[in-house]
Structure 1
Amino acid sequence: MNGDKLSLSVPDGLPRADVSLTNRAGFIVSAGGGGDIAITAKDINIDNSSLNAGILRNFGSSGSQAGDVTLNATEAVTLVGSSVFNDVSAGGISNAGNMTIKTKQLTGTNGSQISASGTL
């Protein structure tokens, strides 16, 4: 723990395991600024779940920075009926965060959505 930032690191030499989010599991780091989501694994499976970062309506201030969303899978990222968002909502004031997905295969089914957007 570093201030209000919680993180977990794994040495580079260890084999990666799979990470699954199912049954409406997820991470929400949307508010007035900050809050990163980073998942590193062999396979990342997101099934009927969500990852949400960004700035909410009427939140943020001049100079606020939304967090980043990073999915890093050595094999596949699979979304089934799920969403990954990093958005600045209408009425939010800030700089948008980054969305990075590194994988050999990206699959989305059953209405899955990936969105990184802002409003002017």
Structure 2
Amino acid sequence: MPPVSDLVRDSRLKTRFSSKYTQHVFYVSGETPRQRKVRREERWERGESLGSGSFGTVWLEKLMAEQTNSKFRAVKEIRKVQRGSKAIDYSRELEAIAKFSHEKVNILTTTI
């Protein structure tokens, strides 16, 4: 397997999966430069399948929070399979996901 690009490595989230939700743990900067980073958790509930392709399935997920506004996102679940004796190179697929997950590109975020 080729080495992972900096973009993919830097975009990595500590994630836990269950059959009903996805949980992310990440750290955000404090309000002042002297304040430590603050640990945040998000839980996203899996909804319906939006479609599938050669690498996997795209799911609709809803943020499980006590806010009045609901947030949704599309999440791609990549199947990790091996074809014959060759390992599949996922680096281009992961790099595309990382690029389109960036805030500057993330135009599909919907708040209801």
**If the length of structure 1 is used for normalisation, what is the TM-score?**
0.20
Larger radius of gyration: 2
**If the length of structure 2 is used for normalisation, what is the TM-score?**
0.21
**Higher strand residue share:** 1
**Higher helix residue share:** 2
